[in-house]
């Protein structure tokens, strides 16, 4: 299937980068032993890099359906999240007729790093993330102008998506999945510019925050209640040291605070059709609902915990959830994402409640 990847110099196909430089990009990931085939790369999956200006190149991947695509999806990963964690979901979207792109965060996953050690999550600001998202979105749209693009922002990827769309990313729709935003007046204030200029932003937030083989995966941190799906990313990182990520830097936290403040202030200006999938019971979910309420074309729905039970962890990974929750999440995206006008009706399309609490899954475990 031709993807029409006219990336005009922004695309670099990788054949295995890494080498001695801890900051170099990496894409030649090895399949972890005993990993079920459904978690392997989709058929036809290809890796690439996109870099804008002086920012380190960011890794992305793409796979197309076996038939003419009905639409395109650009997934922006959460903080500390690999593209490999999305392989099963990409397969499902491909089967539904969508070309799927997954863009990793700047300085994370297989993307090039701003600083060493490699497992330190560090960026001086979110400008690289936003610029790369806008550039990749433009090239996706320009490669096939009849193919509508939906941007899906997961976790902190939702923050990047808001800023990119506000900055002119040419999307037809936006999905915010468990977006993570820092409240105004949060505990971490943006660092003074002079501290960043002398390099103090590259220091980790705490001691001993590097990647650990016995560290907590998505299941142990409560982002999903599906044990197998929750362990997929840890399996890829165990088999591929270059994909490992640990704690965040002081500079990353400062940049997150600053970008959140800016994005929340601009949300009211975003007129793109937007669908929010979030849990009100968590502070960041309630904040996302408030932001959605200021956006002229934003709808929202979510899964709320039953009385007396804690809400899902920050950045709940519904795409990694137990089958009932995961299918609900997939339906929400597919029901909302625009299709090419000539595309046939999607087969086996289920009921699509797009506003309010999902009644069938209210209080459901992830």
Of 68-72, 114-118, 357-361, the poorest mean pLDDT is in 357-361
Pick the CATH number of 12-361 from 3.40.50.300, 3.40.50.1820, 3.40.50.2300, 3.40.50.800: 3.40.50.1820
266-316 tens-digit pLDDT = 999 999 999 999 988 888 889 999 999 999 999 999 877 656 555 555 557
Please list the helix, strand and coil fractions of the chain in percent, rounded to the nearest 5, in that order.
Answer: 35, 15, 55
CA distances from 57 to 28, 105, 182, 351, 357 (A): 16, 10, 26, 40, 39
Spatial neighbors of 293 by CB under 8 A, at least 6 apart, are: none
The confidence score (pLDDT) of residue 360 equals 44
117-169 tens-digit pLDDT = 999 999 999 999 999 999 999 999 999 988 999 999 999 999 999 999 999 99
The confidence score (pLDDT) of residue 8 equals 32
217-239 tens-digit pLDDT = 888 787 788 899 999 999 999 99
Taking residues 37-63, what's their average pLDDT? 96
- On whether the CB atoms of residues 205 and 79 are closer than 8 A, the answer is no
The confidence score (pLDDT) of residue 1 equals 43
Which tokens in the block code for residue 60? Answer: 């992305």
Taking residues 109-115, what's their average pLDDT? 95
CA distance 332 to 328: 6
Taking residues 234-262, what's their average pLDDT? 93
- On whether the CB atoms of residues 96 and 48 are closer than 8 A, the answer is no
Domain parsing of the chain, residue ranges:
12-361
Share of the chain above pLDDT 70, in %: 80
Place 12 in a pLDDT band, splitting at 50, 70 and 90: very low
Bridging pattern class, strands 98-103 and 149-154: unpaired
CA distance 117 to 202: 10
Taking residues 239-247, what's their average pLDDT? 94
CA distance 248 to 251: 8
Q: Please tell me whether the peptide bond between 321 and the residue prior to it is cis, using omega within 30 degrees of 0.
A: no
Place 58 in a pLDDT band, splitting at 50, 70 and 90: very high
Taking residues 23-33, what's their average pLDDT? 93
């Amino acid at each position: 299937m031709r993807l029409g990847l006219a990336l005009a110099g922004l695309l670099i196909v990788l054949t295995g980068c890494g080498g001695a430089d801890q900051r170099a990009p990496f894409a030649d990931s090895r399949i972890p032993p005993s990993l079920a085939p459904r978690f392997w790369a989709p058929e036809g999956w290809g890796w690439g890099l996109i870099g804008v200006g002086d920012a380190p190149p960011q890794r992305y991947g793409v796979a197309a359906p076996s038939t003419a695509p009905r639409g395109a999806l650009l997934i922006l990963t959460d903080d500390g999240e690999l593209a490999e964690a999305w392989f099963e979901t990409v397969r499902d979207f491909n089967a539904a007729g969508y070309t799927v792109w997954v863009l990793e965060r700047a300085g994370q996953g297989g993307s090039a790093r701003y600083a060493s050690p490699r497992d330190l999550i560090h960026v001086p600001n979110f400008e690289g993330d936003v610029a790369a998202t806008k550039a990749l979105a433009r090239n996706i749209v320009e490669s096939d102008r009849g193919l509508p693009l939906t941007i899906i922002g997961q976790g902190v990827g939702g923050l990047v998506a808001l800023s990119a769309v506000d900055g002119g990313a040419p999307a037809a729709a936006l999905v915010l999945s468990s977006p993570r935003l820092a409240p105004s007046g949060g505990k971490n204030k943006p660092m003074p510019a002079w501290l960043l200029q002398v390099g103090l932003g590259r220091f980790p937030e705490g001691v001993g925050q590097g990647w650990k083989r016995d560290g907590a995966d998505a299941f142990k941190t409560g982002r999903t209640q599906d044990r197998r799906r929750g362990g997929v990313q840890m399996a890829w990182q165990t088999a591929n040291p270059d994909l490992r990520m640990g704690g965040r830097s002081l500079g990353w936290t400062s940049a997150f605070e600053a970008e959140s403040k800016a994005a929340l202030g601009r949300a009211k200006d975003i007129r793109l059709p937007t669908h929010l999938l979030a849990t009100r019971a968590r502070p960041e979910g309630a904040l996302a609902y408030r932001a959605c309420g200021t956006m002229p074309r934003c709808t929202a729905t979510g899964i709320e915990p039953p009385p007396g039970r804690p809400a899902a962890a920050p950045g709940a990974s519904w795409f990694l959830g137990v089958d009932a929750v995961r299918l609900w999440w997939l339906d929400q995206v597919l029901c909302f994402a625009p299709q090419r006008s000539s595309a046939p009706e999607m087969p086996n399309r289920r009921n699509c409640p797009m506003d309010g609490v999902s009644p069938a899954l209210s209080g459901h475990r992830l």
